[in-house]
Amino acid sequence: MNTKMATVVKKVRHRKILENIFGIPHFDLFAIVSYVIPLAYIFIFLIVPLAEMLKIAFTYNGAFSLHWFKSIFSQEFYISPKPQGSLYVDTPQYIYVEGLDFGVILNSLIVAMFVTLLATLIGVTLAYVMYRYTFPGKSIFRVLLIVPLLMTPFVNAYVVKLIFRENGIFNWILHDLIGILPKPIRIDGLVGVMIAQAIAYYPIVYLNTYASFVNIDPSLEEQAENLGSRGFKLLRTITLPLALPGIAAGATLTFIFSLEDLGAPIAFHSASIAKKLITYQIYDKFLSETGYRSPEIAALAIILLALSLLAFALIRKYVSLRQYAMMSKGGRWYVRTVKPKWWQYVIIYTIVLPLVLFTITPQIGVILLAFSKEWSRTPYPRGFTLQHISQIALDPSVRRYVINSITYAFTAILIIVVISVMASYVSNRFRGVLSPIVEALTVFPLAVPGIVIAIGYFYFFASITPKTSVLNPLSVSFNPGPILIIAYSIRRMPFTARSIYAGIQQVHASLEEAAMNLGSTRWRAVMGILVPLIAMNVLGGAMLSFVYAMSETSVSITIGSLEMSKAPMTAYMRDLIVSAAGSAHMAAALGFILIAVQISAIILSTIITKQRYAFIGIT
Partner 1 sequence: MITLVTVKIDRVVKRFGEIVALKGVSLEIKHGELFTLLGPSGCGKTTLLRIIAGLEYPDEGRVYFDGSDVTDLKTYERGAVLVFQNYALWPHMTVYENIAYGLKIRKIPRDEIKERVKRALELVKLEGYEDRYPTQLSGGQQQRVALARALAVQPKLLLLDEPLSNLDAKLRIEMRSEIKRIQRELDITVIYVTHDQEEAMALSDRVAVMNFGVIEQVGTPREIYQRPKTKFVADFMGKNNILPAKILEIKNGRATLEVLGHRISGIPAENILGDYSDLYFSIRPEKVSLTPFEGAQAFEGRVDLVEYYGFFVEIVIKIKDVFFFVRVPDLKEPLKQGDNIKVYFNPRDVILLQE
User: What DSSP letter does each residue of 94-153 carry, written as one string?
Assistant: -EEE---B--HHHHHHHHHHHHHHHHHHHHHHHHHHHHHB--TTHHHHHHHTTGGG---T
| C-beta of 517 vs 565, nearer to partner 1 | 517
Q: Is the separation of the CB atoms in 209 and 243 below 8 Å?
A: yes
Find the part of the chain contacting partner 1 (CB under 8 A) among 179-187, 214-222, 519-527, 603-611: 519-527
Find the part of the chain contacting partner 1 (CB under 8 A) among 66-74, 214-222, 517-525, 571-579: 517-525
Find the part of the chain contacting partner 1 (CB under 8 A) among 15-23, 326-334, 376-384, 447-455: 15-23
Min dist CB 533 to partner 1, Å, is 6
β-pair partners for 90 = 95
* Spatial distance between the Cα atoms of 343 and 427, rounded to a whole number of angstroms: 50
Does 331 participate in binding partner 1 (rule CB under 8 A)? Answer: no
| C-beta of 132 vs 524, nearer to partner 1 | 524
From 54, 516, 564, 604, residue interacting with partner 1 (rule: CB under 8 A): 516
Three-class secondary structure of residue 511 per DSSP: helix
Q: What character string, x for contact with partner 1 (CB under 8 A) and - otherwise, covers 528-557?
A: -x--xx------------------------
Does 134 participate in binding partner 1 (rule CB under 8 A)? Answer: no
Q: Is the separation of the CB atoms in 217 and 243 below 8 Å?
A: no
Find the part of the chain contacting partner 1 (CB under 8 A) among 12-20, 224-232, 280-288, 479-487: 12-20
Q: Is the separation of the CB atoms in 579 and 514 below 8 Å?
A: no
In one-letter notation, the amino acid at residue 418 is: V
From 2, 508, 581, 610, residue interacting with partner 1 (rule: CB under 8 A): 508
Count other Cβ atoms within 10 Å, centred on residue 122: 23
From 1, 12, 394, 476, residue interacting with partner 1 (rule: CB under 8 A): 12
Min dist CB 516 to partner 1, Å, is 5
| C-beta of 288 vs 510, nearer to partner 1 | 510
* Spatial distance between the Cα atoms of 30 and 34, rounded to a whole number of angstroms: 6
From 518, 580, 581, 607, residue interacting with partner 1 (rule: CB under 8 A): 518
CA-closest candidate to residue 34, choices 413, 420, 515, 487 = 420
Min dist CB 25 to partner 1, Å, is 4
Count other Cβ atoms within 10 Å, centred on residue 539: 18
From 385, 465, 520, 583, residue interacting with partner 1 (rule: CB under 8 A): 520
Find the part of the chain contacting partner 1 (CB under 8 A) among 381-389, 412-420, 505-513, 590-598: 505-513
Min dist CB 380 to partner 1, Å, is 53
For 256-292, give one letter per residue: b (16+ CB within 10 A) or e: bbbbbbbbbbbbbbebebbbbbbbbbbbebbeeeeee
Three-class secondary structure of residue 316 per DSSP: helix
Positions 25 through 44 that interact with partner 1 (CB under 8 A): 25-26
CA-closest candidate to residue 545, choices 600, 493, 591, 503 = 493
| C-beta of 2 vs 510, nearer to partner 1 | 510
| C-beta of 31 vs 299, nearer to partner 1 | 31
Min dist CB 7 to partner 1, Å, is 10
Does 11 participate in binding partner 1 (rule CB under 8 A)? Answer: yes
Q: Is the separation of the CB atoms in 461 and 479 below 8 Å?
A: no
Find the part of the chain contacting partner 1 (CB under 8 A) among 19-27, 148-156, 193-201, 400-408: 19-27
* Spatial distance between the Cα atoms of 341 and 210, rounded to a whole number of angstroms: 21
Q: Is the separation of the CB atoms in 521 and 542 below 8 Å?
A: no
Q: Is the separation of the CB atoms in 381 and 369 below 8 Å?
A: yes
From 71, 229, 465, 521, residue interacting with partner 1 (rule: CB under 8 A): 521
Does 322 participate in binding partner 1 (rule CB under 8 A)? Answer: no
| C-beta of 12 vs 581, nearer to partner 1 | 12
* Spatial distance between the Cα atoms of 266 and 197, rounded to a whole number of angstroms: 12
CA-closest candidate to residue 488, choices 411, 573, 565 = 411
Q: Is the separation of the CB atoms in 170 and 164 below 8 Å?
A: yes
| C-beta of 82 vs 508, nearer to partner 1 | 508
From 87, 357, 514, 608, residue interacting with partner 1 (rule: CB under 8 A): 514
Find the part of the chain contacting partner 1 (CB under 8 A) among 38-46, 249-257, 526-534, 574-582: 526-534
How do strand 185-187 and strand 95-97 relate by DSSP bridges?
Answer: parallel
Three-class secondary structure of residue 509 per DSSP: coil
From 423, 515, 542, 593, residue interacting with partner 1 (rule: CB under 8 A): 515
Does 2 participate in binding partner 1 (rule CB under 8 A)? Answer: no
Min dist CB 3 to partner 1, Å, is 16
Find the part of the chain contacting partner 1 (CB under 8 A) among 10-18, 202-210, 456-464, 473-481: 10-18
| C-beta of 20 vs 84, nearer to partner 1 | 20
Min dist CB 544 to partner 1, Å, is 23
Number of residues that bind partner 1 (CB under 8 A): 23
Residue 383 φ/ψ, nearest 5 degrees: 80, 115
Give burial (CB, 10 Å; 0-12/13-18/19+) of 109: middle
| C-beta of 11 vs 142, nearer to partner 1 | 11
From 140, 313, 386, 511, residue interacting with partner 1 (rule: CB under 8 A): 511
Min dist CB 15 to partner 1, Å, is 6
3-state secondary structure 555-587: HHHHCHHHCHHHCCHHHHHHHHHHCCCCHHHHH
CA separation (Å) from 130 to 334, 339, 350, 564? 14, 11, 16, 45
Q: Which residues lie near partner 1 (CB under 8 A)?
A: 11-12, 15-16, 19, 25-26, 508, 510-511, 513-521, 524, 529, 532-533
